[in-house]
Chain A
Amino acid sequence: MISIEHLSKSFGKNTVLRDVSLELKAANISAILGPNGSGKTTLIKSILGMVIPDQGTISVQGQPIRGKHKYRDQIDYLSQIARFPENLKVRELLRMIQDLRTRKAYPDALIARFELEPFMETRLGHLSGGTRQKVNLVQAFMYDSPIIILDEPTSGLDPVATLRLKELILKEREKGKLILITSHIMSFVEEMAEDIVFLLDGHIHFEGSCDELKEKYHASQLETAIARMMMRTENNPHHEQNIQI
């Protein structure tokens, strides 16, 4: 579905991704993890064409994406920070985004799922952070696209909304979609993700299933496994960077 080959990217002197190669397949929930500044967001943005790689190629559904824009119709994206034009109403925003895409949208069930009906005529500037994130989720999930990319999907959500989101992700997974998640909430990742890609200093440090990772580091929980993996790298003189998750 998405194949990344030898991807490198620097911002000035700061190298963010070094020779990253990755194959992501359909009917799978993958999590991209890593400490702050490890290149997670840059990797996602490269897939979406927001960041233009220095080297390497990315193909979506077999087509190289460089300089193209139509392929984004295959991808639903939830951005990390939900900020919208303040004077638009929720209904107008959703209509606007639908207007920009050719794919048919199904917002109604999602509006009900996240209980947004009372806010449909409210201006986006007047919404709380959590409600804005729900609007963000609706706009991200309302198409039936084969690829869904979620950058910190749980931020600002209350437990009820988080539960609804988890159900929604699993439902979409059942349809055979590829779902790519980044999150700092390890329990969320452990519950949702089948595969883990762990980035460190712009390299892929671990790639495999959640269970493989736990087994490799003799941990019963994902959080422990990741902490152990990071502590080992910390002791390794090749990685002297301050790591925190």
Chain B
Amino acid sequence: MNKIFKYSFFDLIRSRWTLVYLAFYLLLTFALLTLTPDTSKVVISLMNIILLLVPLIASMFSVIYSYNSREFVELLLAQPIPRRQIFLGQYLGVASSLALSYLLGIGIPFLVFGILGSAQLGHFLTLLLVGLLLSFIFSALAFLIALKHDNKLKGFGLTILVWLFFAVIYDGLFLVAMMWFRDYPLDNFALGASLLNPIDLSRMLILLKLDIAALLGYTGAVFQQFFGSSMGILLSVGCLLLWIGVPVWRIYRISGRRDF
């Protein structure tokens, strides 16, 4: 797996699109940091962009890579290596190269603006962590979809739908549910519903860290009330890791038994 990982990773970090992705984050972060001296405001602005953009780019990039490398995978399958290693290696290669672009694109500007000595270091690190986790989550979901569907169009469609669902539709449904059942105690429902969406979970993680969760909605308040900040953060990270673990486990299972 290491070898497949190494080569996918090196193939991708030289791709034009990875560089464009990196350049975009560099520009955006530098611009925001130049415009506002208040780092926690920059973290919130970046959060709003990252929560939509990282999942979108990670899933599109991964699904395209996965379909484009179909024929090459056939060549790899003919080599004396276990087939599961091929898919896990490719997934890790793609997700890591995306994560690296993100890490450098956000990290370098903050370092230049002296984040290391600042009191906002914790917020910045949370932002970094969330972006990295989201890259791995949505890349895994996209790889899983591409592995399950031979039809490219179907695969692309589903990937976009998954992103749209978690980024937009889910929150809408959530609000509608809250409206309909407002006469009932909804605390546990709200908690449960947030755990099921990795994007909401990430938002929660950052807001809990910024200690302004109660200001930004009902769920945040419930989260803080129930778990206190550190417990809530642990739970969110745990759930986000599950969001990586389950799709990766599915990729592992399916790649062992499907036909190519």
Contacts and interface: CB of A to CB of B under 8 A. Distances in A.
A and B part of one assembly: yes
Interface of A: 11, 45, 48-52, 69-73, 75, 77, 79, 81-88, 92, 96-97, 99-102, 139
Interface stretch (B23-31, B77-85, B140-148, B238-246): B77-85
A69 B11 contact: no
B211 interface: no
> DSSP majority for the B interface?
helix
B71 A82 contact: yes
A88 B68 CA distance: 14
B234 to A, nearest CB: 39
B259 interface: yes
Contacts of A139: 75
22 contacts: A50-B74, A50-B77, A50-B259, A52-B258, A52-B259, A69-B81, A69-B83, A70-B80, A71-B80, A73-B80, A77-B75, A81-B71, A84-B72, A84-B75, A85-B11, A86-B11, A88-B11, A100-B4, A100-B76, A100-B79, A101-B79, A139-B75
Interface string B1-43: 0011001101110110000000000000000000000000000
A73 B7 CA distance: 20
B79 A72 contact: yes
A49 B11 contact: no
B146 to A, nearest CB: 16
A48 B78 contact: yes
Interface residues of B, number: 28
Interface string B77-107: 1111111000000000000000000000000
A79 B75 contact: yes
A48 B80 CA distance: 10
A171 B75 CA distance: 24
A16 B220 CA distance: 56
Contacts, number: 72
Nearest to A81: B71
Contacts of A92: 7
B260 interface: yes
A49 B77 contact: yes
Contacts of A88: 7, 10-11
A139 B4 CA distance: 16
Contacts of A71: 80
A85 B7 contact: yes
Contact of A51 (B11, B81, B259): B259
Contacts of A79: 71, 74-75, 78
Select the residue from B3, B15, B75 with max chain A CB neighbours within 10 A: B75
A72 B80 contact: yes
- Among A79, A82, A85, the one with the most B-chain Cβ atoms within 10 Å of its Cβ is A85
A98 B20 CA distance: 32
Interface in B60-78: 68-72, 74-78
Given A70-B80, A81-B71, A100 B260 contact: no
A132 B83 CA distance: 24
Q: Which of B15, B71, B80 has the most CB of A within 10 A?
A: B80
Interface in B165-184: none
A81 B79 CA distance: 16
Contacts of A69: 80-83
